[in-house]
Amino acid sequence: MKILIIQTAFLGDVVLTIPLIQAAKKYLKAQISVVCIPSTKNILEGHPSIDEIIVFDKKNSEKGFFSLIKFIKKLKEKKFDVAIIPHPSFKSGLISYLAAIPERIGFSNSAGRFFFTNKVFFDKNKHQLERYLDLLKHFGIEVKEEKTEIYIDEEGKKFADDVLPKNKIIFGINPGSIWATKRWPAEKYAQLADKIITEFGAEILIFGGPDDIDIAKNVEKNMEQKAINFAGKTTLKQLSVLTQMCKVFVTNDSGPMHIAAAMNIPVVAIFGPTIKQFGFFPYSKKAIVIEKNVPCRPCSPHGPNKCPEKHFNCMNKITVSEVFDAVKKQYENS
């Protein structure tokens, strides 16, 4: 059987899709191909459950109508038997239909559900990782537990060995996020980082992707102590292996948060406009989520670029002291 899994969402969604990929390979003994966007390809590369990664550059080179048709034609030529579509977009459903894939399985609430041959109930009470696994119920498979495996190669391990200071306690902070209102203020991250260094004699690693470079620099600028800034300087594999070296990982609601949770690293996650009930909290027993129950939460599924109420209380009311207390608790329990 040839299965195509279409997941063209952001990094966090892709990390949460990995257990679905693993379970599909394990239980269906199929050839697994995964469609993803260019920025998430690296986190999937080398994974033993994936036979083929197909990149769909939907925002740039394959944005136009004719490029989309060309991409669909490429998929059609591969003669997939089944498409599993965790991504809820209309376009993902349309692609699977136009690629003439006989069985197309997705969620009952998906914007592209009209193109599916089989719809699986989207359970709002579950974590998103568990919802993705529910897609295998179509095959009579109910997966109770599937640990996320992020494949780290020897090159990634060597990178960490080369760049990390020796004999130091390492803490990670991830001050960025795609959505502006999901970011706890950089000044507070700076104060937190200084407090961690003073209290534990630790080394602070600042994480982030290419879009987080300015935020990371802002944290550095506001710090009194020195940190090692990796924002925009690592691949996702390198980010993962560096995360694995952290005693505690402090983060906004973001893709790196899901990587840290998957690596079983103690996480302190700061939630502002979004809420745990959406199902995207860190999937780990070693996670603490800090949030404030202000009446305007949640303001949108992702968090807008500006606070609609203009006070940003969901983040501003979270203090450095309470985040530090959570970090200390995680460190002492690790």
| pLDDT tens-digit map of 240-257 | 999 999 999 999 999 999
Per-residue pLDDT tens digits for 112-163? 999 999 999 999 999 999 999 999 999 999 998 899 999 988 888 899 999 9
Q: What was the pLDDT predicted at 61? A: 77
Q: Among 52-56, 105-109, 150-154, whose mean pLDDT is lowest?
A: 150-154
Band (pLDDT 50/70/90 cuts) for residue 267 is very high
User: 0.85 cut: is pTM over it?
Assistant: yes
Which pLDDT does position 60 carry in this prediction? Answer: 82
What average pLDDT does the chain have? 95
**Type of residue numbered 172:** G
Q: Residue 249 in 3-state DSSP?
A: strand
Residue-wise pLDDT for 308-324, tens only, equals 999 999 999 999 999 99
pLDDT tier, 89 (very low <50, low <70, confident <90, very high otherwise): very high
- Residue 147, Cβ density class (10 Å: 0-12 exposed, 13-18 middle, ≥19 buried): exposed
pLDDT of residue 303: 85
* CB proximity list for 201: less than 8 A, separation 6 or greater: 169
pLDDT of residue 301: 82
State the average pLDDT over residues 224-237: 96
Q: At what angle do helices 65-77 and 90-98 cross, to 10 degrees?
A: 50
Neighbour-count burial of 236, counting CB atoms closer than 10 A to its CB (0-12 exposed, 13-18 middle, 19+ buried)? buried
Q: Tens of pLDDT along 288-307? A: 999 999 999 999 888 888 99
What was the pLDDT predicted at 334? Answer: 85
> What pLDDT score was predicted for residue 189?
98
Q: Average pLDDT in the 174-194 region? A: 96
DSSP of 9-75, one letter per residue?
S-HHHHHHHHHHHHHHHHHH--EEEEEE-GGGHHHHTT-TT-SEEEE--TTTTT-SHHHHHHHHHHH
- Domains along the chain with CATH numbers: 2-139 (3.40.50.2000), 154-333 (3.40.50.2000)
List, for residues 4-47, the tens digit of each pLDDT value: 999 999 999 999 999 999 999 999 999 999 999 999 999 999 99
pLDDT of 153 reads 84
pLDDT confidence of residue 268? 98
Query: What mean pLDDT do residues 160-177 have?
Result: 94
- 3-state secondary structure (DSSP) of residue 239: helix
Q: Sheet containing 31-36: give its strands across.
A: 52-55, 31-36, 2-6, 82-85, 103-107, 118-120
- The amino acid sitting at 54 is I
Contacts 24+ apart (CB under 8 A), 44-53: 44/14, 44/18, 45/151, 45/237, 46/151, 46/153, 47/18, 47/21, 47/149, 47/150, 47/151, 48/151, 49/21, 49/22, 49/24, 49/25, 49/149, 50/21, 50/25
Would the pLDDT of 196 be above 90?
Answer: yes
Please give the pLDDT value at position 217: 98
Confidence band of 327 (pLDDT split at 50, 70, 90): very high
